[in-house]
């Protein structure tokens, strides 16, 4: 029985670099994204570069049956999940009234429902092993309301609250739950969220790389940390958010995220 790290959304951005960091540490990895060939190519790349076993599975995690099929596939390969990285997620820019509601609902399904269900399905593996670590990717957006990306910010607030609660539920097991809260990071996220029009990402070259965020994330995952955020600017945003009334925070975020 091989103990593996399951990383969702490992074909690009933060998830891709988290998978690389884990493989670099000699961890066998199971990688997931929607495109079966693309994710298998990443698995082959990591296997060759780091000499670890790596599997790539193409599943759309917005679909509940696919989530179950994924864990079934893992079990049928005689693998057990030791580390779970719930990273796959996306956002969508624009006022709710003008948005594609199916995209918003799929976002809730991926960012929240899939994350909950994969924790639920992986915890029995970790209990059997007697050890486990979970990394749930939230955002600095989790701490504030986000006009013009209202659903996305709310999905991340859910991740933050759920993960802190789950951490406490598992405190007597040797299973930790870490919540990663990055701020804006260079990746394909902006393109998928149609954020090119927003002021928030106007200075993309000055944003931290997905690689640096992933390196920080895996260090914190291994330490079993609680809620963590890379970079002093993000830490400051989170700290200040405690003292700002929600109505004022909403006004400020609306300004930051307005069209260029």
Ligand X SMILES: NC(=O)c1ccc[n+]([C@@H]2O[C@H](COP(=O)([O-])OP(=O)(O)OC[C@H]3O[C@@H](n4cnc5c(N)ncnc54)[C@H](OP(=O)(O)O)[C@@H]3O)[C@@H](O)[C@H]2O)c1
Is residue 3 within the footprint of ligand X (CB under 6 A)?
Answer: no
CB under 8 Å to 78, separation ≥6 — which residues? 1, 2
User: Can you tell me whether residue 208 is helix, strand or coil?
Assistant: coil
Q: Per rule CB under 6 A, is residue 23 in the interface with ligand X?
A: no
Considering the candidates 16, 83, 93, 152, report the single residue annotated as catalytic.
152
Residue from 28, 56, 89, 145 touching ligand X (CB under 6 A): that is: 89
Give the DSSP per-residue string, 12-77. Answer: SHHHHHHHHHHHHTT--EEEEES-HHHHHHHHHHHHHHH---EEEEE--TTSHHHHHHHHHHHHHT
Does residue number 62 form part of the binding site for ligand X (CB under 6 A)?
Answer: yes
Q: Any contact of residue 87 with ligand X (CB under 6 A)? A: yes
**DSSP designation for 98:** G
Q: Is residue 88 within 8 Å of 33, Cβ to Cβ?
A: yes
- HEC string of 68-97 equals HHHHHHHHHCCEEEEEEEECCCCCCCCCHH
Is residue 131 flagged as an active site residue? Answer: no
CA–CA dist 186, 204 (Å, integer): 7
Q: For ligand X, how many residues bind (rule: CB under 6 A)?
A: 31
Task: Pick the closer one to ligand X by CB: 34 or 235.
Answer: 34
- Measured CA to CA, the distance from residue 12 to residue 187 in angstroms comes to 7
CB of 85 to ligand X, least distance (A): 10
Nearest residue to ligand X, scored by beta-carbon proximity: 13
Q: Verify binding: residue 210, ligand X, rule CB under 6 A.
A: yes
Among 43, 54, 110, 123, binds ligand X (CB under 6 A): 110
- Decide if residue 229 touches ligand X (CB under 6 A): no
CA distances from 49 to 16, 52, 143, 258 (A): 14, 8, 38, 43
Which residue stretch of 30-38, 69-77, 95-103, 247-255 sits at the interface with ligand X (rule: CB under 6 A)? Answer: 30-38
Which listed residue (15, 94, 132, 230) binds ligand X by CB under 6 A?
15
| Residue among 40 and 174 whose Cβ is closer to ligand X | 40
Residue 187 binds to ligand X (criterion: CB under 6 A): yes
| Residue 82 CA neighbour count, 13 Å, CB half | 15
- Point out which residues bind ligand X (CB under 6 A): 8-15, 32-35, 38, 60-62, 87-90, 110, 137, 139, 182, 184-185, 187-189, 192, 210
Residues with catalytic function: 152
């Amino acid at each position: 029985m091989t103990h593996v790290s399951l990383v969702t959304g490992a074909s690009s951005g933060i998830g891709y670099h988290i998978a690389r960091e884990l493989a670099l540490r000699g961890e066998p990895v199971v990688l997931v994204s929607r495109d079966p060939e693309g994710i298998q190519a990443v698995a082959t790349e990591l296997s060759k570069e780091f000499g670890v076993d790596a599997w790539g599975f193409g599943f759309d995690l917005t679909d509940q049956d696919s989530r179950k099929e994924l864990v079934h596939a893992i079990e049928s390969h005689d693998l057990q999940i030791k580390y779970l990285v719930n990273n796959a997620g996306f956002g969508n820019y624009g006022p709710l009234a003008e948005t594609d509601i199916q995209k918003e609902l799929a976002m809730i399904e991926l960012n929240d429902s899939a994350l909950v269900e994969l924790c639920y399905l992986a915890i029995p593996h970790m209990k059997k092993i007697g050890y486990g670590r979970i990394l749930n990717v939230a955002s600095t957006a989790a701490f504030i309301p986000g006009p013009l990306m209202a659903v996305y910010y709310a999905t991340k607030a859910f991740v933050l609250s759920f993960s802190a609660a789950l951490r406490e539920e598992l405190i007597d097991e040797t299973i930790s739950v870490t919540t990663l809260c990055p701020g804006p990071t260079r990746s394909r996220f902006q393109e998928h969220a149609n954020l090119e029009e927003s002021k928030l990402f106007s200075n993309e070259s000055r944003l931290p790389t997905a690689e640096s965020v992933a390196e920080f994330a895996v260090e914190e995952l291994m330490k079993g940390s609680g809620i963590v955020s890379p970079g002093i600017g993000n830490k400051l945003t989170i700290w200040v958010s405690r003292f700002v009334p929600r109505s004022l925070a909403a006004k400020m975020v609306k300004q930051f995220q307005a069209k260029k």
